[in-house]
């Protein structure tokens, strides 16, 4: 997913050049809500990760090449992800209407476990962590 930022002109979603890979992207984004809404990421998050030393780039910061086609492809994939999530949540009343709301709901449901784990790891005291989770 990050390759278009690293290689000028590379279009892994090009249906004429990479038909199988393009179909894989389409299937992942249209049938697996977690992929299309979260795992896939977006051009901004890819650029942020790639700009940090040591994240799978041999210890050096690579030069990235974002362009309008990458942004357009990213926007289209995000829209497909939102549609996939909406279809997934439609017949599951216990699932929030959007991935962001589902993440927030999960944090609220698991607040005590998150707080206790943070205390065990020395992040802070329980009251401070609890206040941060509100």
Cα separation, 18 vs 12, in Å, equals 6
pLDDT tens, per residue, the chain with 134 residues: 566 666 667 777 788 988 998 888 888 888 887 777 767 777 677 767 666 655 555 555 455 555 666 667 667 777 777 788 888 888 888 888 888 888 888 888 889 999 999 999 998 899 999 888 88
Confirm if 1 and 56 have CB atoms less than 8 A apart: no
Both tokens assigned to 44: 């901004």
DSSP H or E stretch at residue 115: helix 111-120
Give the number of other CB atoms < 10 A from CB of residue 95.
16
Whole-Å CA distances, 102 to 21, 85, 132: 29, 10, 19
């Amino acid at each position: 997913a990050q390759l278009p930022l690293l290689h000028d002109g590379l279009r892994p979603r090009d249906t004429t050049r990479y038909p199988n890979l393009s179909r894989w992207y389409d299937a992942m984004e249209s049938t697996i809500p977690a992929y299309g809404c979260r795992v896939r990421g977006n051009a901004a998050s890819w650029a942020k990760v790639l700009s940090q030393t040591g994240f799978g780039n041999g210890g050096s910061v690579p030069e990235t090449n974002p362009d309008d086609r990458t942004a357009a492809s990213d926007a289209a994939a995000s829209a497909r992800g939102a549609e996939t999530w909406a279809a997934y949540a439609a017949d599951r009343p216990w699932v929030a209407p959007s991935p962001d709301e589902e993440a927030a709901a999960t944090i609220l449901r698991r607040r005590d476990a998150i707080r206790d784990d943070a205390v065990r790891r020395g992040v802070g005291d329980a009251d401070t962590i609890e206040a941060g989770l509100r």
